[in-house]
Amino acid sequence: MKISDFLSSTDVTADFAAFDKQQVIQELARKVGVTVDVLPDRIFAELMKREEFGSTGMGGGVAIPHARFHQINKPFGLLVRLRKPIDFDAVDGKPVDIVFLLLLPNRQDSQGLAALACVARKLREPAITAALRSAPDGEELYHALVAN
């Protein structure tokens, strides 16, 4: 599985403004709700419920908030680079500036796990996160992630 299988260049934003973890998740839920035909409030609630189990801030300035929905037939991604890093309760205690929202099908197959693993692998690579941080716009941000 490749990230381009579930992330479109139109779903990438390079200069996303948010003040805290809750606002990032709420704004991303609002942004993606129309596209996936799930109420933004439901998306927000499920993402926050997942955060209660443990932060999806994986360290290195990266977070991958994710949740499963029965309305989703295949993984769907949304990538933002924050204007200013925020506290995300990440495992390393460092602020987050790259957020990859991932919505997954509710069924228990390998597709959702493969998508999550694919994103996590890519965003653990220092060369890729450096390229994401230096990309001038959403288009370059997208290419920095899917080309490598």
Residue type (1 letter), 95:
P
**Catalytic entry in 21, 66, 81, 122:** 66
Neighbours of 65 (CB within 10 A): 25
Contacts of 75 (CB under 8 A, 6+ apart): 5, 6, 102, 103, 104, 105, 111, 112, 115
66 is catalytic: yes
Catalytic residues: 66
